Amino acid sequence: MNPTHPVTAPTAAGQLPAVPLTIEGYACLHQMMRFRWTAWRALDEPKRHQISAEAAKLLAEMEANSGGQSALFSLLGHKGDLMLVHFRDGFDELNQAELTLARLQLSEYLEPATSYLSVIELGLYESTLKTYKSLAERGIEPHSEEWNAAIRETIARQEEAMKPRLFPAMPKHRYICFYPMDRKRGEHKNWYTLPMEERQRQMNEHGLVGRRYAGDVKQIITGSIGFDDWEWGVDLFADDPIVFKKLIYEMRFDEVSAVYALFGTFYIGLRCPANRLHELLEGNLPQHAEG
């Protein structure tokens, strides 16, 4: 028995490590901003134009960035006016994107409302379970050299196969829904004390529900344990916002959400391409057109 994981039930194959393997892709920053409309409107039109043109030029470059794209969204409601979503190769590039934006004249009219830092994460419950079990069956001790080598091999194979999902282009859909979430660590219901097999079963069911929406919604899960105040960030992209409601409602009945999910604040935004920024800042909703 492994005394460091006493809560994980032993299996026929012996004690399995509790942590599922994950693979990570782009670093991801969400910046929710308030726009200082009053100060902005006090500027004359040519000045507003000059400032928004400068910002649009930078945003256009960021939208096309080869090491991870950015996108701007106009937020609905009081939680913020604008949301920038940045995907980058790493935290350095992410921080540079923040600093470059802060140099814009437009930034004098932007006030951070909140932000969220995470990395694109694929949880590999299925292949983790297969790998852990086959290693246990071969009598290979967890965390031994041989075990570590086999795990590294599994991770490398998955990283290669999943590259497009770890380093995605920014989805082009009209609407975004972003919210952070946790898995419950309560006195009676605690996700982290469930055996690996049980978590794998529930995650598999979760995936089956999700997959039925695959054509209507694009989902990007980011992990934020150690980076921000919640454990995961969920980004959903769709051309019809009702799909968010239907998908999330249906998932509430799914065991892993019904019993173990805790949700943070929801943000809903409309995509604003760089070349529509001036329209948006003049108070006109940009039509959905790319390019």
Q: How far is the CB of 125 from ligand 76R (least distance, A)?
A: 6
Tokens of 264: 């943070």
For residue 237, state whether it binds ligand 76R (rule: CB under 6 A): no
For residue 73, state whether it binds ligand 76R (rule: CB under 6 A): no
For residue 184, state whether it binds ligand 76R (rule: CB under 6 A): no
Q: According to CB under 6 A, which one of 123, 142, 168, 241 is a site residue for ligand 76R? A: 123
DSSP code of 214?
T
Is the Cβ of residue 250 or residue 279 nearer to ligand 76R in the bound state? 250
Q: Is 260 a catalytic residue?
A: no
Interface region with ligand 76R, contact rule CB under 6 A, candidates 74-82, 144-152, 202-210, 269-277: 202-210
For residue 219, state whether it binds ligand 76R (rule: CB under 6 A): yes
DSSP code of 140?
P
Interface region with ligand 76R, contact rule CB under 6 A, candidates 87-95, 135-143, 203-211, 272-280: 203-211
Q: According to CB under 6 A, which one of 221, 241, 266, 279 is a site residue for ligand 76R? A: 221
Contacts of 70 (CB under 8 A, 6+ apart): 59, 62, 63, 84, 85, 86, 87, 97, 170
Is the Cβ of residue 97 or residue 247 nearer to ligand 76R in the bound state? 247
- State how far the Cα of 240 lies from the Cα of 30, in Å rounded to an integer: 21
For residue 11, the number of C-alpha atoms closer than 13 Å in the C-beta half-sphere is 19
Write a three-state SS string for 69-113.
CEEEEEECCCCCCEEEEEEECCHHHHHHHHHHHHCCHHHHHEEEE
Contacts of 105 (CB under 8 A, 6+ apart): 50, 51, 54, 55
Q: According to CB under 6 A, which one of 129, 155, 248, 268 is a site residue for ligand 76R? A: 248
For residue 259, state whether it binds ligand 76R (rule: CB under 6 A): no
Instruction: Out of 26, 125, 179, 260, pick the active-site residue.
Output: 179
Contact present, 254 and 268 (Cβ < 8 Å) = no
Residues labelled as active-site residues? 179
Residues near ligand 76R (CB under 6 A): 122-123, 181, 203, 206-207, 210-211, 213-214, 217, 219, 221, 232, 234, 247-248, 251-252, 257, 261
